[in-house]
Structure 1
Amino acid sequence: MPATLSPDVFSFLKKLTRNNTREWFNDHKDLYTQSRDNLIEFLEDLIMEMSRFDQEQAKTDAKKALFRIYRDTRFSKDKSPYKTNFGASMGMGKGNQKAGYYLHIEPGKSFLAGGIYMPDTAVLKQIRKEISLYSNEFLAILNNPDFQKYFPQLDQESKLVKVPQGFEKDDPMADFLKLKNFIVVHDLKDQELMDKEAVKKLAAIYETMKPLNDFLNTALS
Structure 2
Amino acid sequence: MSSYFSDASFKFLRGLARHNDKTWFAAHKAQYEEHIKEPFLRLLTDLQPDLAQVSEHFRSDPKTVGGSLFRIYRDARFSTDKSPYKSWQGARLYHERRKQVPAPSFYIHLQPGECFVGAGLWHPEPDTQRRVRQFIFDNPGSWKAAAHAPKFRRRFDFEESEMLTRPPRGFPAEFEFIDDLKHKNFVFWRSLDDSVMTGPKLRQVLAADLAALAPFVDYLCAALDLEF
TM-score normalised according to structure 2 size: 0.87
Instruction: Write the letter of the residue equivalent to 1:49.
Output: D
1:145 has 2:150 as partner: yes
Distance, in Å, in 2 between the alignment partners of 1:124 and 1:10 is: 35
**Equivalent residue, structure 1, for 2:29:** 29
Write the distance in 1 (CA, Å) between the matches of 2:92 and 2:44.
10
Task: Compute the displacement of 1:106 (Å).
Answer: 0.4
The match for 2:186 is 182
- The answer for the alignment partner of 1:18 in structure 2 is 18
Q: CA RMSD in A?
A: 2.1
Question: Within 2, Cα distance between the matches of 1:159 and 1:200?
Answer: 33
TM-score by length of structure 1 reads 0.90
Unaligned runs of 5+ in 2: none
AA in 2 matched with 1:4:
Y
Give the ranges of 4+ consecutive aligned residues of structure 1 lying more than 4 Å apart after TM superposition.
none
Give the number of aligned pairs: 218
CA-to-aligned-CA distance 1:113-160 (integer Å, 9 cap, x gap)? 111112112221111111112112111222323312311x42122211
CA contact (8 A) 1:2 1:42 kept: no
The equivalent residue for 2:71 is 68
Structure (1/2) with the larger helix percentage: 1
How far apart in 1 are the matches of 2:207 and 2:174? 38
- Shift of residue 3 of structure 1? 5.4
Alignment match, 2:48: 47
CA apart distance, 1:2:
6.1
Deviation at 1:18, TM superposition (A): 2.2
Letter in 2 for 1:212: F
SS of the equivalent of 1:159 reads: coil
Identity %: 32
Q: Which amino acid aligns with 1:29?
A: K
Query: Contact between 2:54 and 2:211, CA under 8 Å: does it hold in 1?
Result: yes
**TM alignment of 1:57-206, pairs within 5 A:** 57=58, 59-63=59-63, 64-91=67-94, 97-151=102-156, 153-206=157-210
State the AA in 2 paired with 1:160. Answer: L
Structure 1, unpaired ranges of 5+: none
Kindly tell me: are residues 169 and 148 of structure 1, through their superposed partners in 2, closer, same or farther at Cα, counting changes over 3 Å? Answer: closer
- The whole-number CA distance in structure 2 between the counterparts of 1:48 and 1:158 is 34
Cα distance change of structure 1 residues 183 and 167 upon mapping to structure 2, 3 Å threshold: same
**2:224 aligned residue:** 220
Q: Please report how far the alpha carbon of residue 6 of structure 1 lies from its aligned counterpart in structure 2 after TM superposition.
A: 3.0
